[in-house]
Structure 1
Amino acid sequence: MIFQKRKQKILQILAQSGEADIHQFADELQTSEITIRRDLNRMAADGMLYRTHGGATRVDPLMGAKAFENKAAVNVKAKDEICRRAANEINDGDIIFMDCGSTVYRLCQFIKNKNIKVITNSLPVVYELINSQVSINLIGGEVDPARQAVHGKIAEEHINRYRATKAFLGVDGISAKGLFAQSENEASITLAIAKNSRHTYLLCDAGKIGKETYLKFAEINVINTIITDYEGFENVLFSQRGVEILKVE
């Protein structure tokens, strides 16, 4: 069965039941679970469904925020190149903050064998690193199910107790005017992490550059280094404001 036919069948299943797991899709479409995972990631990136840990749910038009799984499935190749470069900045013995950004999450695969400590509010980061060489400090507070992350005042107080050598952050948008977020919760966590880190890295694919979203929460100088696949005039503006640009191919 070709992708277009599988796609229609997947959408039919979700229209009827609202959600399904990978095993169910594979049975009904008579195909492998590997193929289904690939199809679901592709459809999530196109906004046709929401990915869950074990399958997918149909798109709810009333749900404004993207679920974490869908954000993680977008621009995977660029995110991996950015994170491979970011991993080169991390040395054994480092204490690093990692926020709940979908690009930051993809850094996990490149640091599992490093003797470091990670402080994070991201549940997917914890799940990915739990059986690795990395020591994990999970930030406490209220869990946001859609973002699979911990937010709130208690989380900020937790962050303020620690000092990190480096922080790896994501944002919803960045321009010469500053850093932008979709929510006050995420903005507050980003600022708390940046305040308690010796050096802050922004992991940012080209789609975020020049994008100004709901909330401007900080100036550019909160960030020390931007690691990106973007090449354009904004990089010059960032550099003029004292931000280092590390560009990947």
Structure 2
Amino acid sequence: MDKKVQSRIQKLEFLLKQMDKIHLRDAADMLNVSEMTIRRDLSTNTGSVVLLGGYIVKDPQKANDNNYLIFEQETKHIAEKMQVGKLAAELVQDGDVVFFDCGSTVPFIASQINSSIKFTALCCSINSFLVLQEKPHCHVILCGGHYSRHNSFLTPIQLNTELDAICTTKAFISAAGVDVKQGVTCFNVDEAKTKHKAMVKTKQAILVFDHSKVNKVQQAYVGDLAQFDLLVCDQTLPVIFNTIKSPILTK
């Protein structure tokens, strides 16, 4: 199979781990190709993805009962998360030791990292782990703890964890709210504690978020925008963000 076709099919397979179906038009927009190109890809593909009634779905004949649970946030702003993931994935280099935060955006980063890159991944959520363990040259370390079905997050149950023992070169930190005045926030206090520890232990703290999080504030405080070495977003940010010193990466 052509490498470009294979790459597109793999992205569709990943997206279908997050949702039940994708409209053909939306898939074309996300992959930046024509609907006809995707139709042609699927007509010659013998994998687990098929086109039914204008929607791309998992092949019913090859589906199984072990599919990963779908959370509400993972079905929102998919195209935007794909764009953020693409930008962030390009930052990962050979030899990196990378922390992957929880949150619905982070698996979109992991899925788009070039499979030839050799790196170590440290993660604290099952959804990120499931994607990273498929990378052939990725050494994955999963932080342990109490598992929450609500957000697929593992909360540490002991004082010292893997995060204390490992210094990372990069840390991808997700957010539910990004505000110039009130900083970076998320929904869960335990998540915020882990994010903060990961930021302290890394060489480069990278905030990843789509534009729907801008000017939103949630209950759990993570930190000021100035604490991040780089901001990655799918769209150009409002002018007020020019007041912060952190570099900003957009499409």
TM over 0.5: yes
Question: Which residue pairs with 1:179 in the alignment?
Answer: 184
Q: Which residue of 2 aligns with 1:217?
A: 222
Shift of 1:153: 4.8
Q: Which residue identity is paired with 2:91?
A: E
- d(CA) in 1 for partners of 2:197, 2:183: 16
1:70 maps to 2:75? no
Residues 29-84 of structure 1 show CA distances to partners (whole Å, capped at 9, x for unaligned) of xxx98659x699xxxxxxxxxxx97488xxxxxxxxxxx62212211111111111
Task: Show the 5 A alignment for 1:143-182.
Answer: 143-154=147-158, 157-176=161-180, 177-182=182-187
Unaligned stretches of 5+ in structure 1?
1-21, 23-31, 41-51, 57-67
Is the Cα–Cα contact under 8 Å of residues 121 and 132 in structure 2 kept in the other structure? no
The question of whether the paired residues in 2 share the 8 Å contact of 1:139 and 1:155 is answered with no
Instruction: Give the whole-Å Cα distance in 2 for the aligned partners of 1:192 and 1:54.
Output: 31
**Structure 2 SS opposite 1:106:** helix
The answer to whether the Cα contact below 8 Å between 1:84 and 1:107 also exists between their aligned partners in 2 is yes
Q: Which amino acid aligns with 1:77?
A: A
How many residues align? The count is 193
Which one is further off, 163-172 or 130-139? 130-139
Q: Deviations over 1:204-234 (max 9, x none)?
A: 100001101123332112211111123342x
Alpha-carbon RMSD across the aligned residues, in angstroms, is 2.6
How far does the alpha carbon of each residue in 1:122-177 deviate from its partner, in whole angstroms, 9 at most, with x for none? Answer: 11121122232211010111111121121135386321111000011101101012
Q: Equivalent residue of 1:114, what SS?
A: coil
- Tell me how far apart the structure 2 counterparts of residues 194 and 125 of structure 1 sit (CA, whole Å): 18
Amino acid at match of 1:245: I
Deviations 1:106-132 (A, max 9, x none): 112112332000000011121122232
CA–CA separation in structure 1 for the residues paired with 2:250 and 2:68 = 34
Shift in CA distance, 35/142, structure 1 to aligned 2, threshold 3 Å: farther
Q: Percent identity?
A: 19
Query: Which residue number in structure 1 is paired with residue 30 of structure 2?
Result: none
Asked if structure 2 preserves the Cα contact closer than 8 Å seen for 1:156 and 1:188, the reply is no
**What runs of 5+ residues in structure 2 fail to find an aligned partner?**
1-19, 21-48, 58-64
Q: What secondary structure, in the 3-state scheme, does the structure 2 residue paired with 1:136 have?
A: strand
What's the TM-score once normalised by structure 1's chain length?
0.70
Q: Quick check: 1:140–1:155 contact (8 Å CA) kept in 2? A: no
1:238–1:53 distance in 2 versus 1, CA, 3 Å = farther
Residues 1:156 and 1:150: Cα distance change in structure 2 (over 3 Å) = farther
Matched-pair contact (CA < 8 Å) for 1:156–1:189 = no
**Does structure 2 retain, via aligned residues, the 8 Å contact 1:140–1:154?**
no
Task: Letter of the 1:131 partner, please give it.
Answer: E
- 8 Å contact from structure 1 (residues 220, 238) kept in 2: no
Q: Do residues 98 (structure 1) and 100 (structure 2) align? A: yes
In terms of fraction of residues, the more helix-rich structure is: 1
